[in-house]
């Protein structure tokens, strides 16, 4: 059985996006990895800030602002 999230994380790394780029203090505030990995498994791309904010609320009951989502995405793409 394949671990879809491990596959997704490897694909993200291959595309140049590492979850390790999220500062640990920010990482611990919300379940960013879960939200990002689930979105990636469904779409094979990073979300935009509004999509990530919605994903965090809808799938994880972990509301985050679009501004916070944008900050996290900027960590991944920098």
Each residue's pLDDT tens digit, 46-70: 999 999 999 999 999 999 999 999 9
Structure tokens at 49: 């800030």
Alpha-carbon distances, residue 11 vs 18, 51, 59 (angstroms)? 10, 19, 21
Output the pLDDT for position 2. Answer: 63
* Digit-coded pLDDT (tens) for 6-44: 999 999 999 999 999 999 999 889 999 999 999 999 999
Q: In degrees, to the nearest 5, what angle opens at C-alpha 19 toward C-alphas 46 and 69?
A: 55
What's the length of the chain?
A: 78
pTM here? 0.91
């Amino acid at each position: 059985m394949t671990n879809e999230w491990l596959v997704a994380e490897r694909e993200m790394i291959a595309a140049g996006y590492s979850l390790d780029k999220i500062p640990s203090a920010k990482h611990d505030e919300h379940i960013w990895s879960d939200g990002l990995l689930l979105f990636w498994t469904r779409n094979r791309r990073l979300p935009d800030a509004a999509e990530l904010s919605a994903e965090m609320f809808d799938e994880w009951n972990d509301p985050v602002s679009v501004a916070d989502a944008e900050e996290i995405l900027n960590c991944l793409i920098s």
